[in-house]
Amino acid sequence: MCGIVACIGNYEQTDLIDRLSIIKHRGPDDEQYLFLDKFGCGFVRLSIIDVDNGAQPITNENNTIIVMCNGEIYNYKDLTLELKNKGHIFKTSSDVEVLIHLYEEYGVKCIDYLQGMYAFVIYDAIECRLVVGRDHIGLKPLFYEVSKNNIFISSELKCFCGTNDDVASLMEKNLFGFILDTESTVYENVKQVKPGCVFYVDYPLLSRINHYEANYNIKESSLEDCLKKAVETHLLNSDVDVGISLSGGVDSSLIAVLCKEVRADVNTYTLTTTRGSEDAYYSRKLARKYGFNHTEITIDSVPAIDNNFNYALDYVLSDSGVFNSKGDIVVMRFYEKVAKYVKVMLSGDGGDELFGGYWMHEKPLGFKDKLLLNCFDDTFKCWLDRKFPENNECVGAKSVLDILFTSALPNYHLWTLDRSSMRYGVEARVPYLDVNVMYNVLNKESRIGKKLLNSMYLKYLPDYIVNRSKVGFCDALG
């Protein structure tokens, strides 16, 4: 994982340097800048692949294409082979360099070929063109602000200051805990790059932003094959140690067991308290059965508060205050402690949103009633009535799936996961949200209740994990 700042148009070098310093935590291993006439950029790096030669920004042979990427491109080896066969010459073994040659070959449609979690910036010096893209579900963040003289881009919202609040987005955050639109932020003039999209702009026509929506080449396969392949690519695409966040629930346990089929030495980490926890009990039991290299991360209480933590919480709240629960706070504390062991962590995040595993998926009208407790605006009440009609739970269930997957996932859960892990220089990977897994599931009927995963649970997990009652994160910690 890494941090990006960039600007096309008029800019001050000191401004880019100052803004990159705000997100230095995202890349503690290296820091680089490039300043051209109408384009400048800075990059901080967390070294995961090609540790010695993967510094960014990366350029092509004649320095006319400049690339930065936050994240990982999991299919880069296959893409590298294909592009070499087309005559492209690579100078590193970094996954990021593949973006240069994909852009040279396919232009803005380069995103069609990518599988991974990424947010990238490409500058084409010949065309004076800025190309910016983001992965299929918004696993990695990227924000931008358009002004008369420039377009500024950054990996985190806190690099933007002095702009007005977006009142409508703040109202949505108050009602749902997140913003519905995946392009909006709490600031009026600052936008997110839409997941699964590229935007490109040519200097000096900065107000003419063109958009291209990715058309991924998804191959038909069984869900089990897709998930096993996703676990393999997420586990093996790393030149540093990888750990698995294990809660003892079905989703993280399935990821851990599938990892064991790929490599013998699986490192698992579980959060617990000094009093012990339900999660720790089941994780310990599973780790003994499968021979995981298991470590328990102990905190004093839920939430754990001390001076260092207060500093971290202030850091997160300055990024629009997306942490809304004790669970979010504890996740951040987990990554603070696990950073002492590994740089890369696999987790079961996204499973409930994709496979319909929350209580509100099966009780949509109860979800509506909960939302109404915080709703003081007639417009939103009418919107809720349309989404959750009293006489049609089927419509309500589809609304829950849509809201939690397309809005809550990228604008809340993945947002907080990224800030929690990257605050301490850890890359969090989520195999359930692999592009092939995701599009396999989205085309299936009956996503509610995790029915699509039941056969895999029964095949790979012991009964005491499969039959364990679903428990909230903080409740499981005691």
d(CA 428, CA 60): 29
Top-ranked range on mean pLDDT: pick from 23-32, 182-191, 460-469: 460-469
Beta bridge partners of 6: 41, 153
If pLDDT is split at 50, 70 and 90, which confidence band does 40 have?
very high
Torsion angle of the four alpha carbons 282, 284, 290, 295, in this order, in degrees rounded to the nearest 10: 130
pLDDT of residue 423: 83
* CATH dotted code for 2-213: 3.60.20.10
End-to-end CA distance of the chain: 32
Q: Model confidence over 244-291: pLDDT tens digits?
A: 999 999 999 999 999 999 988 889 999 988 787 889 999 999 999 999
Residue-wise pLDDT tens digits, 303-344: 555 555 554 555 454 444 444 566 777 888 889 899 999 989
Report pLDDT for 308: 54
Q: Is the dihedral of CA 140, 344, 51, 433 positive or negative?
A: negative
User: The pTM is what?
Assistant: 0.91
Domain ranges in the chain are 2-213, 223-477
165-211: pLDDT as tens digits: 777 887 787 778 788 999 998 888 899 999 999 999 999 998 899 99
The more confident residue out of 425 and 109 is 109
Q: What is the DSSP letter of 144?
A: E
Instruction: Answer yes or no: is pLDDT of 51 > 60.
Output: no
Residue 396 near residue 368 (C-beta atoms within 8 A) = yes
Q: CATH assignment of 223-477?
A: 3.40.50.620
pLDDT, the chain, mean: 88
Residue 67, H or E segment = strand 65-73
- Assess whether pLDDT exceeds 60 at residue 455: yes
- Give helix 378-387 / helix 364-372 axis angle, nearest 10°: 180
Instruction: Provide mean pLDDT across the span 92-121.
Output: 94
Task: Give the side-chain half-sphere CA count within 13 A for 106.
Answer: 19
Position 193 scores a pLDDT of: 96
For 440-450, what is the mean pLDDT?
Answer: 85
User: pLDDT band at residue 24, thresholds of 50, 70 and 90?
Assistant: confident
Percent of the chain at pLDDT exceeding 90? 60
Order of strands, edge to edge, in the sheet holding 190-192?
Answer: 30-35, 39-45, 2-9, 150-154, 143-146, 190-192
- For residue 50, the one-letter residue type is D
Which pLDDT belongs to residue 309? Answer: 54
Could you tell me if 413 and 349 are in contact, meaning their C-beta atoms sit under 8 angstroms apart? yes
Q: Read off the pLDDT band of 53 (50, 70, 90).
A: low
- pLDDT band, residue 1 (cuts 50/70/90): low
What is the structure's pLDDT at 318? 47
pLDDT tens digits, 71-94: 899 999 999 999 999 999 998 888
What is the mean pLDDT of the segment spanning 106-128? 96
Task: Using the predicted structure, report yes or no on whether residue 57 has a pLDDT greater than 50.
Answer: yes
